[in-house]
Structure 1
Amino acid sequence: MRPTVHPSHHADTGTWSYVVADPATRMAAIIDPVLDFDAKSARIAGTSAQKLLDIVEQQAYDVRWLLETHAHADHLSAAQWLKQRLPAATLAIGTGIRTVQETFAPTLDPDGALATDGSQFDRLFGDDERFELGSLPARTIPVPGHTRDSLAYLIGDALFTGDSLFMPDAGTARCDFPGGDAATLYRSIRRLYDSLPDATRVFVCHDYGPGGREVACETTIGEQKRSNLHVRDGVDENAFVTLRKARDATLAMPALILPSLQVNLRGGALPEPEGNDVRYLRIPLDSL
């Protein structure tokens, strides 16, 4: 019941991506892969995604899943880049992606080219839906609050939380995006605490090394319950909502939110080329 987990850190965005494998069958999933994007030059590269492929090749894994925890606002997804190289893999996200697409499409896609039915993905997971990774049981756990489509994946004894939980000394993700809600996030986290064993391994999607410590990605449900900076035993919903709202009011907009959403709402696909064979990202003024 214990998958092998290979973390990969993307320093520019503080993102952790994972190759997760069943040691018995060598079947694997890739979770939250990052496509490199240099905002100054608008250049895209697959260097970070290739590192994930290198792990797959070195370990002789058979990748069956490309899993997104939500439509990220701080990095571009490499899901389609990987899908081109792993055509047998199923690209999946939660059904809440439809709501997020509907929310942002009027601003980011005024021409109406963006389908808002989630059809850019091979599979849309419902809440608490079960699937398999080789011989390992897996299921989805809804964790809305940061975004409406936020989904955690429990694979064997390993929980991949997306942006619902950070490392204990970093707390939780912001809730001030459209569709976000601090009270909802609190309830999502308490559900994880109350339903999962303390020994459950927790793998976070982001870490920025608060206090100057080295970046980290793995903790446990028990450690989160004892010492998470924002949601731990003894902190009630009202206290968390007050804290979270006050903190969110001080945060700047993510630097890559506009390019990220335009790509990630399409399942990691880049916009179609214009008549000059160049792809363009839109920058809507005074809209967010």
Structure 2
Amino acid sequence: MQQQPFVQSFFDAVTNSYSYVVSDPSTKKCAIIDSVLDYDAASASTATEQADQIIAYVQQQQLQVQWILETHVHADHLSAAQFLKQQLGGRVATSDKITLVQQTFSSIYHLDLSYFSSQQSFDYLFKDGEHFKIGELDAYNIATPGHTPACLSYVIGDAVFVGDTLFMPDYGTARCDFPKGSAAQLFDSVQKLYQLADNTRVFLCHDYLPKTRQQYQCETSIAQQKAENIHLHIGVAKDEFIALREQRDAGLNMPKLIIPAIQINMDAGKLPKAESNGIRYLKVPLNYFKTT
């Protein structure tokens, strides 16, 4: 019989992002997945409203945080991983392919790559397919690159947390036009997810509420995705998907928060160190990212 973790979702309407607390009812151990740090772009200021909701829930339920998991380096919101670790404990973890992202964007942001190679900011890096525990819950990851080269989906009991790999079936799949993204890889990644049991609960990182739907949603199933995903249901050929995905990506603007998000998230959610005047600074690569 499949284990059934309890899943509590948290929605950030500003970035259309879902975060999750996944807990083992028998041991009260839990993992936090894809947390959000509030960020106001106009003032370049952070806040912890979203993270505080998670903290309050964990404390009310008397849970113990074992893991703070990232499915990938997000380009559309900042991670609250470090703040949550300070408040609740737990290990901040992601794919060991994070080094590819750090190499790529260290070049773009003209950062010192030796910083990441000498003192990895994440507490733990998962190898592809690695198994781990949340209390007594069995968990493992599936490498699902395509959106980024370091995307992981976490299978925990009868649930899978897919990050940006898939959206709700009526919205489709993730973009693949970021550096080292690949529509071909995304197709292959989704096929791996489709090998999971049809009744596997699928939890998504975003919902953008298409006009055909009235309410935001974060949960679907493998069976529903296989039958109804508008980009990649069963029967869609690889070449067909690649052509569709690349055509759509060519018309997309960059996410509004990509500039601050990438440089903070690839550092496990750590904010830049304050300079001699006590102020922290972000770098902005002028005229690098495309606009449509």
The answer, yes or no, to whether TM exceeds 0.5 is yes
One-letter amino acid matched to 2:180 = G
Equivalent residue number for residue 227 of structure 1 = 228
**1:214 CA drift (Å):** 1.1
Contact residue 93 and residue 123 of structure 1 kept, 8 A: yes
Equivalent residue number for residue 257 of structure 1 = 258
- CA offsets 1:233-278 (integer angstroms, 9 cap, x no match): 1111011101100100110011110100110011000000011101
Give distance in 2, aligned partners of 1:234 and 1:39. 42
Equivalent residue number for residue 31 of structure 2 = 29
Contact residue 95 and residue 118 of structure 1 kept, 8 A: no
Contact residue 98 and residue 118 of structure 1 kept, 8 A: no
Q: Secondary structure at the match of 1:69?
A: coil
Give distance in 1, aligned partners of 2:111 and 2:140. 36
Q: Secondary structure at the match of 1:76?
A: coil
Give distance in 2, aligned partners of 1:225 and 1:7. 23
- CA offsets 1:172-201 (integer angstroms, 9 cap, x no match): 00000011000110010011102x100000
Give distance in 2, aligned partners of 1:79 and 1:64. 12
Equivalent residue number for residue 281 of structure 2 = 280
Give distance in 1, aligned partners of 2:69 and 2:217. 21
Matches of residues 202-213 of structure 1 in structure 2 within 5 Å?
Answer: 202-211=202-211, 212-213=213-214
Equivalent residue number for residue 70 of structure 2 = 68
Equivalent residue number for residue 191 of structure 2 = 190
Stretches of structure 2 that go unaligned for 5 or more consecutive residues are none
Q: Secondary structure at the match of 1:224?
A: helix
2:97 maps to 1:96 = yes
- CA offsets 1:91-129 (integer angstroms, 9 cap, x no match): 100011000000010221435574146710010001110
Equivalent residue number for residue 150 of structure 1 = 151
Give distance in 1, aligned partners of 2:63 and 2:56. 10
TM value normalised by structure 2: 0.96
- CA offsets 1:31-81 (integer angstroms, 9 cap, x no match): 000000000011100110010111101111111100000000110000011
Give distance in 1, aligned partners of 2:114 and 2:60. 39
Stretches of structure 1 that go unaligned for 5 or more consecutive residues are none
Give distance in 2, aligned partners of 1:257 and 1:224. 28
Contact residue 101 and residue 116 of structure 1 kept, 8 A: no
Give distance in 2, aligned partners of 1:150 and 1:230. 19
Number of residues of Structure 1 aligned to a counterpart in Structure 2:
286
Give distance in 2, aligned partners of 1:81 and 1:66. 11
Structure 1 residues 78, 109: closer, same or farther in 2, change over 3 A? Answer: farther
Q: Give the CA RMSD over aligned residues.
A: 1.2
One-letter amino acid matched to 1:236 = A
Matches of residues 236-255 of structure 1 in structure 2 within 5 Å?
Answer: 236-255=237-256
Structure 1 residues 2, 118: closer, same or farther in 2, change over 3 A? Answer: farther
Equivalent residue number for residue 88 of structure 2 = 86
Equivalent residue number for residue 10 of structure 2 = 8
**1:8 CA drift (Å):** 0.3
**1:161 CA drift (Å):** 0.2
One-letter amino acid matched to 2:35 = P
Give distance in 2, aligned partners of 1:151 and 1:9. 21
Structure 1 residues 49, 245: closer, same or farther in 2, change over 3 A? Answer: same
TM value normalised by structure 1: 0.97
